[in-house]
Amino acid sequence: MANIRALLVGLSRARGSLAEAGRCASMRPSLLASVGGHYKVPMPARWFSTGLPPHLVVGMPALSPTMNQGNIAKWRKQEGDKIEVGDVICEIETDKATLEFESLEEGYLAKILAPEGSKDVQVGQPIAVTVEELDDIKNIPADTSFGGEQKEEQSAESAPKTDAANASEQSSVVSRISPAAKLLIKVHGLDVSSLRASGPRGTLLKGDVLAALKSGSISIPAKEQKAPATPSSQPTRNAQAQPATTSQKADTYEDIPNSQIRKVIAKRLLESKQTTPHLYLSKDVVLDPLLAFRSELKEQHGIKVSVNDIIIKAVAIALRNVPEANAYWNSEKEEAQKCDSVDISIAVATEKGLMTPIIRNADQKTISAISSEVKQLAEKARAGKLAPNEFQGGTFSISNLGMYPVDHFCAIINPPQSGILAVGRGNKVVEPVVDSDGNEKAAAVTKMSLTLSADHRVFDGQGNFSRSWHRISATLGDCYCKWKEVAIVF
């Protein structure tokens, strides 16, 4: 190992630039190799040797295709510890889950640059330094900086920021006023000339007025300062107390820190609503045949499955029978593209946010197999241990709130998928039914609300949309004997 590193250093010197030769700003997702829940990643590092013993500067790896920053959740190795090939160095919270960062190099951890709990560490940013020999640790001064490039970038960015600050001071003169700011000025009788505008093109915003009220650096016109002769002084005292009350109300909030996962969820949901034309269709289906089928599985065959497991199977069968609905919209080609497999994403609520583990080839699996896989994936999702291949992809999503007092709701499509089914709880209702004799009578039935959110570019009202929706609702509400035929259980 030492000979290999010496050779690499020699080659780098021959090229004339050690820093450029060893640069690896980020790890490509294609280099990921998931082995037993661990992630073997070539450590993004830079070689250095001038003035210091040979060492590696380890950068923040990209542990998912969409990751551009991460958080250091926990350091498994501490400064001075021996690192073997395959050892977990630290746990990194990405935009999807908390993953373990394995080393493919051996050596010693000389210095931790990003301490435990560090937030929003950019991909490629140095997080640690390793050396070959234990004695080399003491030869690396504690005050040595390994983030020179970032400091240069920060200093380069400081000049534009200064110019921007000067420009903002020049544009603080009020040239226009927002409606909310006008209302506050009118209510409090403020002098516009004493206010500073922070909005674009000298626009006075509501926040500017509230900030002025809070600081007290405002002047009240003379007309407002004169107290009326006849009325009592009570209104004056109220008027003077109003700014303080407004200031107190403005301060009554608390910032809630977001995890990396929640930030990405918020961004994706907003993009989905802004860029995907959502089309909605709701229907109540009779749940009694499904419940009877579920009871038989438990009583006669000892198989315990949930209603959600059967819904997954029903949706998978419907997508298999209507392949045009098992598709996504290709923005580059501006056309819908069919998916080769039916992969159902299941919404699972966790402490860090909503995760969507995937049941691959759900149409080919038995209900019992689906039930077992759902339990395993949900447990891993709540523990933050999902592998990338277990939550990336999917062709259709299901969000079930039937276990909560939610009758019906509309779910947001998870791009690039083209559909998501929102499932509400089952309710007992009384409605007319026709008995075996052809007579109509009142009877209590269990109904469940389904709402399909679909990408209108892929689904159209007269084509695959109506056919796939009919398949889903018919499969769920079909007669008892049909379920024994279509649901492969054993």
DSSP conformation class of 42:
-
Q: Point out which residues pair with 48 in neighbouring strands.
A: 55
Q: Point out which residues pair with 399 in neighbouring strands.
A: 422
Q: Which two tokens stand for residue 111?
A: 């210095």
Q: What type of residue is 311?
A: I
23-52 b/e with 16+ CB inside 10 Å = b? ebebbebeebeeeeebbbbebbbbbbeeeb
Q: How far apart are CA 158 and CA 199, in angstroms?
A: 22
Question: Residues near 35 by Cβ (< 8 Å), separated by ≥ 6?
Answer: none
The reply to whether 456 belongs to the active site is yes
Furthest C-alpha separation in the chain:
97
The reply to whether 301 belongs to the active site is no
- Tell me the pairing of strands 176-177 and 203-204: parallel
Contact 130, 124 (CB under 8 A): no
Q: How far is CA 172 from CA 166, 168, 191, 198, in A?
A: 10, 6, 15, 6
Contact 124, 27 (CB under 8 A): no
Angle at 126 (CA atoms; ends 263, 352), nearest 5 degrees: 25
Given 191, 288, 407, 460, the catalytic residue: 460
Beta strands across the sheet bearing 98-102:
33-35, 38-40, 98-102, 88-93, 69-75, 121-122
Q: What type of residue is 251?
A: D
Contact 420, 414 (CB under 8 A): yes
Q: How far apart are CA 158 and CA 148, in angstroms?
A: 15
Contact 378, 365 (CB under 8 A): no
Q: How far apart are CA 183 and CA 247, in angstroms?
A: 16
Q: Which of 284, 324, 289 is nearest to 422 (CA)?
A: 284
- Tell me the pairing of strands 335-338 and 348-350: unpaired
Given 284, 408, 456, 470, the catalytic residue: 456
Q: What type of residue is 404?
A: Y
Active-site residue numbers? Answer: 456, 460
